[in-house]
Structure 1
């Protein structure tokens, strides 16, 4: 069991629409219009809810459906800002947006660390992971603590421990680190290293991805029907939401129910 009693999934009901303001995107197949950083989305309502949440995909905003802040939004809103909103003025907004972006990095790393702590076979590295979890969590106590470090450098600090988890839990499979596998038909990926790999539009129907390391892998548009990711490492809600699957796809238990659109 994980030693992290933290919320590592987004809860919009306790956030103030941070992802709808503190981000930017360009018109594409995933977004119906351009939006600059700091400009509230045209669909964001005064109650910080999305006016088209139930119709995002049919409204050309599928990119929003693949997003998850790993719980950073509600933690910044409730813990660091005591429920205050960016709507209170530019000074609050600028600081809150910067903290939110940094907090996303911290919470994403906590997600990976928690994954390692849930793996019994990664026991030899658990003490190290718990120490990293404590260090990361301490950065979220106050805004001052969060701003005291270069959060962009944190992934490199955590990476060696995650690599050790991979070696203990899986490993021995095909090595596809940062490989371009876009559009490929792949099935035998058990224990594979797919860290940073592009699996854009890949045909993974029925693929065995047990113990495969998917840290940073791009699964957008990949076909996961019948694939087994039940024990895959470092799978995120974003990756799953960006792919396609069905009732026969097996996902890690920590991800909960598959996307409704999978059917």
Structure 2
């Protein structure tokens, strides 16, 4: 079982309660943090799961906890849920943010360990993975005391090294943290480019070559990936793919699936 892949059947719908969302193109209603979504069923399932996009909840279809939900539900809190024991809410809900951050880092570290050119830092990546994994085993109180931002910064510096090594064979343009909203990159050669943390909402990457491009943290909501080649894009997540648009000719890594809405 992949512990870094969300298994909603083992979670107490934490993302449907702990997180907040605002009425927008992605959510049909406003919901404050800590309040259960009105679409949440008594068995922790979603009453409109097969109609989320049609009902205006596209944002729910792209959320990924990287397995943090089931870790909190089944390990941290030992299978005790917030409905049966309301007192758990005070720690369980804020702990989701911390656990998700840790699980996301674990996912990136695992990816980086698979980059052949990053071999010089593979041992460091392995140590960082073990250290981060150990943090996910902390009890709720210690999780909430954890300096997760500090830990993230340390891990990110290592992930950046791995990225630079992986892209050393052909470094592309640097768009790190850039505002690329609505920009056109049709048929662009973006091999080895850095799109780390870029705002690429609605950007047009039709036919673009994004092999070995670092897309960690890039916001690809509504981006057009039709015909784009992302087969070896670095740190590309299913969530990023789900938030974008594409077609049958979009080339993705084997580990990712083409969304049904494409």
Query: Normalised by the shorter chain, which TM-score bucket?
Result: over 0.9
CA distance in 1, matches of 2:3, 2:245: 26
Residue 152 (1) aligns with residue 146 (2): no
User: Could you list the runs of 5+ residues in structure 2 that have no partner in the other structure?
Assistant: none
Alignment RMSD, CA only? 1.3
Partner of 1:203: 204
Query: Which runs of structure 2 are paired with 1:72-111 in the superposition (5 Å)?
Result: 72-111=68-107
User: Could you tell me the TM-score, scaled by structure 2's length?
Assistant: 0.94
Query: Would you say the 8 A contact 1:138–1:145 is kept in 2?
Result: no
Shift in Å at residue 148 of structure 1?
Answer: 4.4
Shift in Å at residue 88 of structure 1?
Answer: 2.4
Query: Which runs of structure 2 are paired with 1:1-263 in the superposition (5 Å)?
Result: 6-143=2-139, 144-171=141-168, 172-186=171-185, 187-255=188-256, 257-262=257-262
CA distance in 2, matches of 1:140, 1:80: 8
Query: Would you say the 8 A contact 1:66–1:238 is kept in 2?
Result: yes
User: Could you tell me the TM-score, scaled by structure 1's length?
Assistant: 0.94
User: Could you list the runs of 5+ residues in structure 1 that have no partner in the other structure?
Assistant: none
- How many equivalent pairs are there? 257
CA distance in 1, matches of 2:260, 2:114: 26
Shift in Å at residue 103 of structure 1?
Answer: 0.2
CA distance in 2, matches of 1:156, 1:194: 18
Change (3 A) 1:140 1:6: farther
**DSSP 3-state at the match of 1:254:** coil
CA distance in 2, matches of 1:218, 1:147: 27
Query: Would you say the 8 A contact 1:139–1:145 is kept in 2?
Result: no
Deviates more, 1:40-49 or 1:196-205: 196-205
Shift in Å at residue 253 of structure 1?
Answer: 2.4
CA distance in 1, matches of 2:217, 2:87: 34
Deviates more, 1:207-216 or 1:91-100: 91-100
